[in-house]
Amino acid sequence: MTEDTKNAASSPSGDPWLLTPGPLTTSLSVKQAMLHDYGSRDATFIELNARILERLVAIVNGAGSHVSVPLQGSGTFAVEAMIGNFVPADGKLLILINGAYGKRIAKICDYYRRSYQVQESPEDVPVDTVELDATLDADAEIGHVVVVHCETTSGILNPVAEVAQIVARHGRRLLIDSMSAFGALPLDAREIEFDAVVASSNKCLEGAPGMGFCVARQSALEQTEGNSPSLVLDLYDQWRALQKNRQWRFTPPTHVLLAFDQALSEFEEEGGVAGRGGRYRENCDLLVAGMRNMGFKTLLPDELQAPIIITFHMPTNPEFDFDAFYDGLKQLGYVIYPGKLTVADSFRMGCIGRLGTGQIQGALDAVAGLLQQFGIDKISNE
């Protein structure tokens, strides 16, 4: 990299800061943890594996009742595995949708030919618990309900605790995609009844991308034998293999696991969910206040906004060109993300990953500088 192509701001590894929904900025120590080659049968590696699985269960306070099962691949692999394992071939799934990740679950059901029904809300509205109650009353065939904890499409927080109460009251089973919330927003297995929750190594836990995991109620997981239509995504089989010889069934992503173990230590040092979520909340508050100060408008009111990723309306000033804005920010050392909404033209800025208020302030200063460069005095949202 020559001096003039180098990003103005950069992480300790010389990369731009990622204000995105993932992959995310990781600490230098997490990246350095990967500088080893372990065989999958190495005793140190096997210990590390067991330690990771225990720590994941502890994050939801599930010791004694819940177990965790790791899986190679990105987060969607874990979502697909959860659906394929927990919804039996003759079952029926109710999918609560208010964004792209909920829709993706419906697509998974199409591939697996699982019977499902959707209950859809607009992307800027939380899933409707009154309607959920009525739907479960009306349809006894629905055995499982799935909800997305934080819908990363907009950044909206869904009322998972209320959903869980309703599902439990009807005697049905709850599945949760907590990919972008796990580790940053509370999810306590002693308070929220669920059969399975899935997340990945790289979002709020700040490890390297490359593996997902499922934390499941053991008694529910035990009933899933033979359900999975996929060999590689068979969580039950993976769990049994790990119990039997403490090993993954197929080549484990050793480097990703080394990084994940380090990331979990840093997570615990930061104070677990309260500490991690607290830092993201500070990031989010500063980002929202700073952007509003310049005239940008958030899609969501504050009470619906999860401190994960923020959707901003695309300014309508003719001088505002998103590609130039994106490229300009990248050059200044901050990577943002295009919008994924169907309800409005938008862009997103994340506040998760190894970022603090220093980086958020840096990004705000970069935005202000670019607006000046574009000749925009006042952001227009009309």
Ligand X SMILES: *Cc1c(COP(=O)(O)O)cnc(C)c1O
- Exposure of 71 by Cβ count < 10 A (0-12 exposed, 13-18 middle, 19+ buried)? buried
Beta carbon nearer to ligand X, 179 or 351 = 179
Strand partners, 92: 115
In the complex, residue closest to ligand X by CB = 75
Q: Using the minimum distance from each CB to ligand X, give the nearer residue, 149 or 173.
A: 149
Binders of ligand X: how many residues, by CB under 6 A? Answer: 13
- Closest approach of ligand X to the CB of residue 26, in Å: 15
Choose, by CB under 6 A, the member of 80, 123, 177, 206 that binds ligand X: 177
* Part of the chain binding ligand X (CB under 6 A), chosen from 115-123, 177-185, 213-221, 252-260: 177-185
Q: By the 8 A CB rule, do 321 and 149 touch?
A: no
The distance of closest approach from Cβ of residue 46 to ligand X in the complex, given in angstroms and rounded to an integer, is 26
The residue count for the chain? 382
Asked if residue 148 binds ligand X (CB under 6 A), the reply is yes
CB–CB of 363/17 below 8 Å?
yes
158 binds ligand X (CB under 6 A): no
**Between 198 and 332, whose beta carbon lies closer to ligand X?**
198
- Closer to ligand X by CB, 7 or 74: give it: 74
What residues contact 360, with CB distance under 8 A and at least 6 apart? 283, 286, 287, 290, 351
Contact predicate 320/374, CB 8 Å: yes
Does 179 bind ligand X (CB under 6 A)? Our answer is yes
Angle at the Cα of 146 from the Cα atoms of 122 and 57, rounded to 5 degrees: 125
Tokens encoding 215 = 């934390």
Each residue 66-95 as x (binds ligand X by CB under 6 A) or -, in order, gives --------xxx--x----------------
Q: Looking at residue 158, what DSSP letter applies?
A: P
Q: What binding mask, one character per residue, do residues 352-381 give for ligand X by CB under 6 A, x or -?
A: ------------------------------
- DSSP readout, 283-329? HHHHHHHHHHHTT--BSS-GGGB-TTEEEEEPP--TT--HHHHHHHH
Query: Does residue 195 contact residue 216 with C-beta atoms inside 8 Å?
Result: yes
Selected range binding ligand X among 64-72, 155-163, 175-183, 297-305, rule: CB under 6 A: 175-183
> Tokens standing for 365?
């200063």
Smallest separation (angstroms) from ligand X to the CB of 54: 23
Cα 38 to Cα 52: distance, rounded to the nearest angstrom: 16
Question: Binding to ligand X (CB under 6 A): which residues in 187-206?
Answer: 200
How many Å apart are CA 378 and CA 382, to the nearest integer?
Answer: 12
Interacting span for ligand X (CB under 6 A) from 2-10, 63-71, 172-180, 325-333: 172-180
Backbone angles phi, psi at 66, to 5 degrees: -120, 155
CB of 122 to ligand X, least distance (A): 17
Residue in 18, 20, 22, 173 binding ligand X, rule: CB under 6 A: 22
Is the separation of the CB atoms in 20 and 308 below 8 Å?
A: no
Nearer to ligand X, 11 or 180 (CB): 180
Q: Candidates 68, 152, 228, 317: give the one binding ligand X (CB under 6 A).
A: 152
The correct pick among 86, 101, 236, 248 for binding ligand X (CB under 6 A) is 101
**Comparing C-alpha atoms, which of 252, 195, 193 is closest to residue 71?**
252
Q: Per-residue x/- marks for ligand X, 291-330, CB under 6 A?
A: ----------------------------------------
Closest CB to ligand X among 69 and 179?
179
Q: How far is the CB of 127 from ligand X (least distance, A)?
A: 13
Question: C-beta of 206: minimal distance to ligand X in Å?
Answer: 14
Shortest Å distance, C-beta 120 to ligand X: 16
Residue type, 312: F
E strand or H helix at 160, and its extent? helix 160-169
Residue 358 tokens, joined: 């220093």
List of residues contacting ligand X (CB under 6 A)? 21-22, 74-76, 79, 101, 148, 152, 177, 179-180, 200
